[in-house]
Chains A and B, each alone.
Chain A
Amino acid sequence: MEVAKLTDVTRIYRIGEVETRALNGITMTIESGEFTSLVGPSGSGKTTLLQLIGCLDRPTSGQVVINGKETTNLNRNQRADLRKGTIGFVFQFFALIPTLTAYENVEMPLLLNGKSPSERRKRVMELLEAVDITNHAHHRPDQLSGGQQQRVAVARALSTNPKMILADEPTANLDTENGEQVMEIMKKLNKETGTTFVFATHDPRVIKHATRVVTLHDGLIEKDSKQ
């Protein structure tokens, strides 16, 4: 089943007179259950592509279909709605809400999805267990290590059982051990629940785990290989 389908997608950034063609016509599909890496040199368009798949942004031209749904013409709120049930995000710099505890950060998407308190509690505990943060559930992000923060971010991305998780350089700010741990967790979830994962990364340790590697260059797909 196709989770995401992009057809001839371009994204041009305009700052004043300067135009940057970040994506130059990308056509690709992401199948359910894939564990895909987007790789390529800096500036090749990985983050931009991830943002389009995640409906955080709109393409300059072309089509983005998520879960069979055409997203090009959705407004800001409709895109937020689409995201909150189907797509989870893990960002490079952990991106937790600093005023909320680990527990509350993971709970946030569940709140936004209108889950009942008992459902929320059960799910949050389950996830904190899965990423091994139970002992730090009531710490705020600044009281957690980078690796712990990134694990919380993964737990948050997973909380609503999204079909697809998009991660932008999830290990870039982690040491080898923590990076490996985060990858193991995601890999395990991918196997057990069939959740689709797409990473943008430079990190060979991440690429090593991938089942598919898409290489970008100057906004075009240079190579697409299953491994």
Chain B
Amino acid sequence: MMNYFKMAYRNLGRHRRRSILSGLALALGTALLMFIAAFFEGEMRSSMEATLRLNSGHLQVQDADYDPDKLSVAWEYLIENPQQVAAQIEALDEVQAATPRLFASGIVSVADESIGVQIMGIVPDSEANAPYTEGLVSGEFLSADDREGIVIGLPLAESLGLKVGDQLNLLVNTSDGSVDEQLFTVRGIFTTGTTAYDKGIVFLPLAKSQAFSGAENHASMIFILLKDREQAEAVAAAIQGPGYQVKTWTELNELLVLVNDFSDAYLSIINLIILGVTATVIVNTLLMSVFERTREIGILSAIGMKGRQVITLFLAEASLLALGGITFGSLAGWAISAYYGKVGIYFGDFGMSNDFILQDRIYTILTPDAALNLIVTAFIITVLSSLYPARMASRMEPVEALHKAQ
């Protein structure tokens, strides 16, 4: 076996530049694939994370008639005594945080500029607000009994020229179908890293939002985070109650879950395409060597080398190329992924739908599983595709050697 590799190594050395180039093609393919895999993983994880943390939570308890698209604060759509319900749920072991939230639609105006927003009434000290409190860029977060304070997102603040301490006029659609308005003082400005989300939402303390919108002792939902999201079904079953509906994160994010499930298949297709291209380069290189070495193969055959051994010789060449190319490529792919895993890739405002939040900056994540998978696949595809030129070589008749010697 050693001898095959020794011969293979020297044969590759005969056309050093060609060997290096085809090794590089393989390296490039591998590196590219690793980066794509890392990018996908990063994107999927970040959008999953952002969607769950900002939008859906792991579970939501809603009134049986609640319609998330309406943002109506009419009592018939809302949960009564939400603080009490939330406290009961939060007492469960599996639950990390359960907090009432009230959604209403409103319009923010400063001077003669107006922007439509979603008003979210929150219990300020709930753990579930971590993405906002941690993302505070200036000022401070709300306190529960603040009657004039509001917290807004950075893009909204920028577009309206608002700073902490400035005042804005907020108009709200109330539960009786009319409107109300009031001046609020900006207490804090936050960013979650998703511009599309930050520019369309403002926070009021739950009590203030209830009073302001006429929702009184009601909330749109109990927003629940679990210690382990896989337990969503079990907890949902446990907190079922008459007049409520409990929705799990998989139900709330059907599209996202679907995309997540498909991303593996999607990635596999990309892998096959790119590896197919690189394999073609390798096959081409080997075919050239086979043609150039017709005579030599004939000689080897004349002195007793069997077809199988000729195949082994060419497979050894392919393996060495693969080993070199893939090693180099995975190192490069790993380095690039590690780099962009640290600094991220900035895409800016993606836009946002209700069930899909993409962050402005995506951090690549290369999992050992994905890397190993790729390395093994690339190796197997390269060696398998070299079977064709190898078999071709093995079928050459030794007569060629004597004939060409004339």
Contacts and interface: CB of A to CB of B under 8 A. Distances in A.
Pairing of A with B: yes
Interface of A: 47, 50-51, 54, 56-57, 76-77, 80-81, 83-85, 88-89, 91-93, 95-100, 108-109, 111-113, 156, 160, 168
The listed residue with most B CB atoms (<10 A of its CB), out of A88, A108, A113, is A108
B47 interface: no
Contact of A76 (B10, B11, B307, B406): B307
Contacts of B216: none
Nearest to B303: A109
Interface string B1-28: 0010001001101100000000000000
B305 A100 contact: no
Interface in B386-400: 395, 397-399
A95 B304 contact: no
A97 B402 contact: no
Contact of B10 (A83, A99, A108, A113): A99
B299 A91 contact: yes
Given A97-B296, A99-B7, A83 B302 contact: yes
A112 B304 contact: yes
A51 B300 contact: no
Contacts of A97: 296, 299-300
Given A76-B307, A98-B296, A99-B10, 12 more contacts: A47-B403, A50-B402, A56-B401, A77-B306, A80-B306, A91-B299, A91-B405, A95-B401, A96-B299, A97-B300, A98-B14, A99-B14
B302 A89 contact: yes
Contact of B301 (A50, A51, A80, A156): A80
The listed residue with most A CB atoms (<10 A of its CB), out of B300, B306, B405, is B405
A100 B10 CA distance: 8
A112 B313 CA distance: 13
Given A95-B295, A100-B7, A51 B402 contact: yes
A81 B306 contact: yes
B385 interface: no
A132 B345 CA distance: 68
Interface in B349-406: 395, 397-399, 401-403, 405-406
Given A47-B406, A100-B7, A95 B299 contact: yes
Nearest to B394: A76
15 contacts: A47-B402, A56-B399, A56-B402, A57-B397, A84-B304, A89-B302, A89-B402, A91-B402, A92-B405, A97-B296, A99-B10, A99-B11, A109-B303, A112-B304, A113-B304
Nearest to A89: B302
B96 interface: no
Bin chain B's interface residue count: 20 to 34
B309 interface: yes
Nearest to B295: A95
Nearest to A80: B306
B332 to A, nearest CB: 30
A91 B14 contact: no
A124 B41 CA distance: 58
A109 B304 contact: yes
Given A50-B402, A57-B397, A80 B305 contact: yes
Interface in B302-322: 302-309
A38 B164 CA distance: 107
A99 B405 CA distance: 18
A83 B304 CA distance: 6
A203 B301 CA distance: 27
Contacts of A50: 402
Interface in B66-114: none
Contacts of B302: 54, 56, 83, 89
B398 A56 contact: yes
B7 A57 contact: no
Contacts of B305: 80, 84, 112
A165 B302 CA distance: 12
Contacts of B299: 91, 95-97
A127 to B, nearest CB: 14
Across the A-B interface, the 7 shortest Cβ-Cβ residue pairs: A84-B304, A99-B10, A56-B398, A93-B405, A91-B405, A112-B304, A57-B399
Contacts of B295: 95
A80 B14 contact: no
Contacts of B11: 99
A108 B307 contact: no
Given A92-B406, A112-B309, A76 B304 contact: no
A98 B292 CA distance: 12
A83 to B, nearest CB: 5
Contact of A84 (B3, B303, B399, B405): B303
Nearest to A82: B304
The listed residue with most B CB atoms (<10 A of its CB), out of A80, A88, A168, is A80
A89 B14 CA distance: 25
Contacts of B399: 51, 56-57
Contacts of A76: 307, 395, 397
A84 B14 CA distance: 27
A113 B308 CA distance: 14
A26 B303 CA distance: 25
A156 to B, nearest CB: 7
Nearest to A42: B406
